[in-house]
Chains A and B, each alone.
Chain A
Amino acid sequence: MAKTIAEINDRISKGQAVVVTAEEIIDIVTEKGAEEAAREVDVVTTGTFGPMCSSGAFLNVGHTKPRIKLGGGEVYLNDVPAYTGIAAVDLFIGATAVPDDDPRNKAYPGDFNYGGGHVIEELVAGNDIRLTARAYGTDCYPRRRLETWINIADINEATLFNIRNAYQNYNVAVNLSDRTIYTYMGVLKPHLGNANYSTSGQLSPLFNDPLYKTLGIGTKILLGGGIGYIAWHGTQHNPAAPRLDNDVPRRPAGTLAVIGDLKQMKPEWLRGTSMLGYGTTITVCIGVPIPILNEEIVRYTAVRDRDIVAAIVDYSDVYPQGKPDVLGEIDYASLKSGQITVQGQEVPTASLSSYPKAVEIANLLKKWIKAGEFLLTEPVAPLPGVESGIRFKNLEDRPING
């Protein structure tokens, strides 16, 4: 028996919708079977809270008197450079931007205590942000210097626009070399000293709709503790990645581009983050509702950690050199047990993505939907699927003066 999103929304509005998290649905499907579960359950909520570098915010800070054309000039927010290559008072602050005078990795491993991700967290927290700017001056925009406080409450727009979030699967990072390495997957100790992974597994949005059958462009989601939307497929979207029999990809695959009004988001769900020796980033919360349209979809949402595998990759040589080799595959239940075996050696595991926070997000979204405050949207266009033929490409150097 198939349901439509309109029917589900009708039940949500009446406060009658049955909503469970992607963790809770597992037992329901096991106990009652997919057919019964699909009949009973209307929505399954997912969640993830992990560092996501391809994140940033567009700000329109308003016009000064006399006017200044920040576009094409230089702008700093709390000393962190913002991108100005757009109209007069539009800016983009990206999560990985760091102040010009940050020593970066000159003092290896660099601390990266403050960057664009932290500016975004502070903006959302309602803190005043110091804007300093230099412009070249034009007839219509004569002013050349600006130093002022700005606050999210006073500026025109603050739009979070993350061009790649919510990676569907990710590598397990290890280090085969004889020295500690500092990566975007955290600190990796020598000789397989630890293994870091980053996903919420069975709660992760794209593991619960592996072939993008319900979510698409325009899908309303929980983003940064507020409301957001799927804007597009994310960069590096790679639906052609190899998959298991349950359609779950065995390698990094689909991604989402997401957008939302920063003004209604919460600082505890957008955390400025520092990866030692690597850079700054931001930890982003995303919760996606999966409408249970039929039995097939409910079966997808019942995916368990032990049904999902990831590739173990050496970050001392294989990853930096762009080699294809993997050290093996491991399922998420084993990763979450705290210890895995790699090349015959026992390796302790740790996560960079927070599972307890993913549970909290899935429950928050569940609460909103149950209360009738969050209606589902019909996607206006699907995300490119396996049939699109889209493949992740490398950049093959073509030397300019070769």
Chain B
Amino acid sequence: MPVSRRIVLHFPRRLVDRPIVYRLIKDYDLEFNILKASVTPEEEGLMVLELKGDQKDYDQGINYLNEAGVQIQALSQNVTRNEIRCTHCGACITICPTAAFELDKKTRVVAFDNDKCIACGLCIKSCPPRAMELHF
């Protein structure tokens, strides 16, 4: 049965330079799309992938990633903003790896685009009034 899933991969520092994704594709016959790749402030690698392939291959691929020490997170986690607590300071703008926050240059109001958010969680504790909330 073919499946298509979006996942977020967190690579610990020691794995950042290793050819993990290459092996995932080669050994498990999965098709992939890189939706986003960046290095976080903790210098971990962060990658958002869309993986397509057979359910069996997909499961084995995920297994391989787990064993290699990559943390996997489904994209179903949701980050929302508590609009009452947000002061529109803008501190989150330079923290977010996917540019989910956008500053209106004129009003300086900070817009949050949930569609761009990959729920990496970095803004949660970096937001001074703690307006960003992670839901499981």
Contacts and interface: CB of A to CB of B under 8 A. Distances in A.
Q: Do A and B come from one complex?
A: yes
Interface stretch (A146-154, A222-230, A310-318, A351-359): A351-359
Nearest to B84: A268
A283 interface: yes
Interface string B77-95: 0000000110111111111
A120 interface: no
Given A180-B41, A356-B108, A351 B84 contact: no
A152 B107 CA distance: 35
B129 A350 contact: no
Which residue, of A348, A350, A357, has the highest number of chain B Cβ atoms within 10 A? A350
A348 B42 contact: no
Interface string B109-131: 10000000000000001101110
Contacts of B85: 271
* Chain A interface size range: 35 or more
A74 interface: no
Contacts of B109: 356
B33 to A, nearest CB: 27
Interface of B: 41-43, 84-85, 87-95, 103, 105, 107-109, 125-126, 128-130
Contacts of B94: 189, 193-194, 196, 348-350
A338 interface: yes
Interface stretch (A273-281, A287-295, A378-386): A273-281
A344 B92 CA distance: 24
A196 to B, nearest CB: 7
A270 to B, nearest CB: 11
A235 to B, nearest CB: 22
A359 B105 CA distance: 14
A51 interface: yes
Given A187-B91, A349-B94, 16 more contacts: A111-B125, A187-B41, A189-B41, A196-B94, A268-B84, A273-B129, A274-B129, A274-B130, A283-B87, A336-B105, A337-B105, A338-B103, A348-B93, A350-B89, A350-B95, A351-B89
A351 B91 contact: yes
Nearest to B104: A356
Given A272-B129, A273-B128, A356 B88 contact: yes
Interface in A169-210: 179-180, 186-187, 189-190, 193-194, 196
Contact of B90 (A268, A272, A275, A351): A351
A49 interface: yes
Contacts of B92: 350
A187 B95 contact: yes
B93 A354 contact: no
A16 interface: no
Contact of B128 (A109, A268, A283): A283
Given A51-B128, A111-B125, A283-B128, A350 B88 contact: no
A186 B128 contact: yes
A113 interface: yes
B93 A350 contact: yes
16 contacts: A111-B125, A180-B42, A186-B91, A186-B126, A187-B41, A189-B41, A189-B95, A274-B129, A283-B129, A348-B94, A350-B89, A350-B93, A350-B94, A352-B89, A356-B88, A359-B108
Contacts of A359: 107-108
Interface string A348-381: 1111111111010000000000000000000000
Contacts of A272: 129
Contacts of A283: 87, 128-129
Nearest to B89: A354
Which residue, of B94, B95, B108, has the highest number of chain A Cβ atoms within 10 A? B94
A356 B95 CA distance: 20
A274 B128 contact: yes
Contact of B91 (A189, A338, A350): A350
Nearest to B110: A356
Given A194-B94, A356-B109, A275 B88 contact: no
A359 B109 CA distance: 11
A193 to B, nearest CB: 7
